[in-house]
Amino acid sequence: MTHLLDTNVCVAYLRGSSPSLLDAFQIHDSGDLAICATVRSELIYGALRSKEPVSAEAHVRRFLAPYPSLPFDESMADLSARIRARLASTGSKIGPYDLQIAATALLYKLTLVTHNTREFSRIEGLLIEDWE
Protein backbone atom coordinates (compact mmCIF):
# COMPACT_ATOMS: atom_id res chain seq x y z
CA MET A 1 0.00 0.00 0.00
CA THR A 2 1.21 3.45 -0.86
CA HIS A 3 -1.92 5.63 -0.92
CA LEU A 4 -4.92 6.23 1.33
CA LEU A 5 -8.09 7.44 -0.37
CA ASP A 6 -10.03 10.32 1.16
CA THR A 7 -13.83 10.38 1.05
CA ASN A 8 -14.08 13.16 -1.53
CA VAL A 9 -11.89 11.21 -3.96
CA CYS A 10 -14.03 8.10 -3.57
CA VAL A 11 -17.25 10.06 -4.09
CA ALA A 12 -15.88 11.75 -7.22
CA TYR A 13 -14.81 8.36 -8.56
CA LEU A 14 -18.19 6.77 -7.79
CA ARG A 15 -19.96 9.65 -9.56
CA GLY A 16 -17.57 9.52 -12.51
CA SER A 17 -17.27 13.29 -12.27
CA SER A 18 -13.53 13.65 -12.86
CA PRO A 19 -11.83 12.17 -15.94
CA SER A 20 -8.37 12.84 -14.49
CA LEU A 21 -9.34 10.97 -11.33
CA LEU A 22 -10.62 8.01 -13.35
CA ASP A 23 -7.30 7.97 -15.22
CA ALA A 24 -5.33 8.04 -11.95
CA PHE A 25 -7.26 5.03 -10.65
CA GLN A 26 -6.36 3.17 -13.86
CA ILE A 27 -2.66 3.93 -13.38
CA HIS A 28 -2.50 2.67 -9.79
CA ASP A 29 -2.79 -1.00 -8.92
CA SER A 30 -5.59 -1.68 -6.43
CA GLY A 31 -2.93 -3.19 -4.13
CA ASP A 32 -1.39 0.28 -3.83
CA LEU A 33 -4.61 1.83 -2.51
CA ALA A 34 -6.35 1.58 0.84
CA ILE A 35 -9.43 2.92 2.57
CA CYS A 36 -9.65 3.64 6.28
CA ALA A 37 -12.59 2.80 8.52
CA THR A 38 -13.57 6.48 8.71
CA VAL A 39 -13.84 6.84 4.93
CA ARG A 40 -15.72 3.53 4.74
CA SER A 41 -18.22 4.82 7.29
CA GLU A 42 -18.71 8.12 5.47
CA LEU A 43 -19.28 6.37 2.13
CA ILE A 44 -21.79 3.89 3.50
CA TYR A 45 -23.58 6.65 5.41
CA GLY A 46 -23.85 8.70 2.22
CA ALA A 47 -25.25 5.70 0.35
CA LEU A 48 -27.83 5.02 3.06
CA ARG A 49 -28.98 8.65 2.91
CA SER A 50 -29.39 8.62 -0.88
CA LYS A 51 -32.69 8.42 -2.77
CA GLU A 52 -32.03 4.75 -3.55
CA PRO A 53 -30.14 3.44 -0.52
CA VAL A 54 -30.15 -0.25 -1.43
CA SER A 55 -28.56 0.20 -4.86
CA ALA A 56 -26.28 3.01 -3.65
CA GLU A 57 -24.95 0.89 -0.80
CA ALA A 58 -24.35 -2.04 -3.17
CA HIS A 59 -22.48 0.32 -5.52
CA VAL A 60 -20.29 1.59 -2.66
CA ARG A 61 -19.57 -1.93 -1.40
CA ARG A 62 -18.50 -3.05 -4.89
CA PHE A 63 -16.16 -0.06 -5.04
CA LEU A 64 -14.71 -0.82 -1.58
CA ALA A 65 -14.21 -4.56 -2.15
CA PRO A 66 -10.70 -4.56 -3.65
CA TYR A 67 -9.21 -2.17 -1.08
CA PRO A 68 -8.03 -3.02 2.43
CA SER A 69 -9.96 -1.16 5.11
CA LEU A 70 -7.58 0.08 7.79
CA PRO A 71 -9.05 0.21 11.31
CA PHE A 72 -9.01 3.26 13.54
CA ASP A 73 -7.23 2.10 16.69
CA GLU A 74 -5.75 3.54 19.89
CA SER A 75 -2.49 4.60 18.21
CA MET A 76 -4.45 6.56 15.63
CA ALA A 77 -6.69 8.05 18.30
CA ASP A 78 -3.63 9.26 20.20
CA LEU A 79 -2.03 10.73 17.07
CA SER A 80 -5.32 12.34 16.06
CA ALA A 81 -5.47 14.04 19.47
CA ARG A 82 -1.88 15.29 19.10
CA ILE A 83 -2.60 16.71 15.64
CA ARG A 84 -5.77 18.37 16.94
CA ALA A 85 -3.92 19.94 19.88
CA ARG A 86 -1.12 21.19 17.61
CA LEU A 87 -3.59 22.76 15.19
CA ALA A 88 -5.67 24.28 18.01
CA SER A 89 -2.56 25.91 19.46
CA THR A 90 -2.12 27.80 16.19
CA GLY A 91 -5.81 28.70 15.92
CA SER A 92 -6.34 26.26 13.09
CA LYS A 93 -8.96 23.53 13.13
CA ILE A 94 -9.98 20.67 10.90
CA GLY A 95 -12.91 18.31 11.15
CA PRO A 96 -12.79 15.26 13.44
CA TYR A 97 -13.14 12.77 10.57
CA ASP A 98 -10.32 14.46 8.67
CA LEU A 99 -8.15 14.17 11.78
CA GLN A 100 -8.83 10.42 11.86
CA ILE A 101 -8.06 10.04 8.16
CA ALA A 102 -4.82 12.02 8.50
CA ALA A 103 -3.72 10.00 11.55
CA THR A 104 -4.30 6.78 9.61
CA ALA A 105 -2.22 8.01 6.66
CA LEU A 106 0.60 9.16 8.94
CA LEU A 107 0.78 5.97 10.99
CA TYR A 108 0.74 3.71 7.94
CA LYS A 109 3.13 6.08 6.11
CA LEU A 110 0.71 6.46 3.21
CA THR A 111 0.19 9.36 0.86
CA LEU A 112 -3.31 10.78 1.27
CA VAL A 113 -5.19 11.20 -1.99
CA THR A 114 -7.61 14.09 -1.52
CA HIS A 115 -9.06 17.08 -3.29
CA ASN A 116 -9.22 18.84 0.10
CA THR A 117 -5.59 19.92 0.03
CA ARG A 118 -6.27 23.22 1.77
CA GLU A 119 -7.32 21.57 5.00
CA PHE A 120 -4.95 18.61 5.01
CA SER A 121 -1.88 20.68 4.08
CA ARG A 122 -1.92 22.12 7.61
CA ILE A 123 -0.90 18.75 9.03
CA GLU A 124 2.84 18.49 9.45
CA GLY A 125 4.46 15.52 7.75
CA LEU A 126 1.34 14.40 5.87
CA LEU A 127 2.04 13.55 2.23
CA ILE A 128 -0.80 14.62 -0.08
CA GLU A 129 -1.69 14.10 -3.73
CA ASP A 130 -4.64 15.62 -5.57
CA TRP A 131 -5.63 13.40 -8.49
CA GLU A 132 -8.28 15.84 -9.65
Q: What is the domain extent for residue 52? A: 3-129
Neighbours of 43 (CB within 10 A): 23
Nearest-angstrom CA–CA distance, 116 and 4: 13
Give the CATH number for residue 61.
Answer: 3.40.50.1010
- State the pLDDT at residue 29: 87
Angle between helices 7-15 and 19-27 (to 10 degrees): 110
Nearest-angstrom CA–CA distance, 90 and 124: 13
Cα dihedral sign, 60-65-67-68: positive
Domain count, the chain: 1
Query: Torsion angle, CA of 107/108/109/115, rounded to 10 degrees?
Result: -90
- State the pLDDT at residue 30: 84
Per-residue model confidence as pLDDT tens digits over 42-76: 999 999 999 999 999 999 999 999 999 999 999 99
Nearest-angstrom CA–CA distance, 116 and 130: 8
